[in-house]
Structure 1
Amino acid sequence: MEGFPCLHEFQVGGVLLMPTVGEVQTVPGRLEDPDAGFRSRFDKADEHAEPGYYSVLLKDYGVRAELTATTRVGFQRYIFPASEASNILFDIGNAIGESGPVVDALVRVTDPQHVEGYAVYEPLYAQKYQPGATVGVYFYAELSRGADSWQLYRRGETPFAGDELRGVGAGVALRYRTS
């Protein structure tokens, strides 16, 4: 499992969130080698899906993820094990699945309980009819609990301190102590 996009429209990847535990990894890793990144294994027996609800246990982290949505809002809940290093990754500035390339992105932590930003994609279907066209995906996330700390990152690079990062590969890792 690479993460949970709050939106997925063919060739517009969306806003990828991923709960993890431990050291922050800034690449997802390959399907064949999930240990090389933040991707997690899961078992179909630990997955539940029905209209309007999805849950899964992320085996590598012991995190239960639950997702649901309304017409315009997505909700995600993560149930973490006890840890000094529980994380929620907002992996914003990267292509997801079959999405077109990301040409710009922004992630901003406005306070410990709110994250906002956008990603701009060049979907291949748009290039066929309108060369150079882009599609923007904007988000505002309100967390039920403020992060204890956070680090910005670009995919594949070492995380660093700050509140805002712009450009391809932008992301933020929110850190929590969980019990």
Structure 2
Amino acid sequence: MTATPGLGASRPASTDLLRSAFRRHAAGVAVITARGALGPVGFTATSLTSVSAEPPLLSFGIGIGASSWPAVSEARHVGVHILGEHQHELAATFARSGADRFGAPTAWREGPEGVPVLGGVLAWLVCRVVERVPAGDHHIVLAEVVLGDPGGAGRPLLYHGGGFNALRD
């Protein structure tokens, strides 16, 4: 049997290795929102995953140090917004620490269950939080889709190589 290069003794992978590998992985871009005690909160997520069709479940990750975590940790419902390629500024705003995420020019309204719903997105969903699973320095939030609107126009925004990108023809 021949040893595979780079597969020496078993040891934990580094954070740098994980980040370097995932820079090569293209992911869709979403914004997760919730109603917090002091107003709406939200963050940009590239960890959104469809989990189950029946019941309709999805998941996303959120860091326990994120400014939105206290509200998401207690929210009964969250908003999930699939961003279009025209929304790279919105994605950047919700990713930036200390930004006024719901100030102008962000278009939003209070939606069902009090969840902040963003305007101009490709699709939005209101989801009931089912479970929060600790996972290292993050939590994985499992949520059931309650209602939404998948009818927005445009093409998806992607995150790849450390930046927001559009699909190429």
Q: TM-score, normalised by structure 1?
A: 0.30
Q: Return the structure number with greater relative CO, CA threshold 8 A, min gap 6.
A: 2
**More helix by proportion, 1 or 2?**
2
Q: TM-score, normalised by structure 2?
A: 0.31
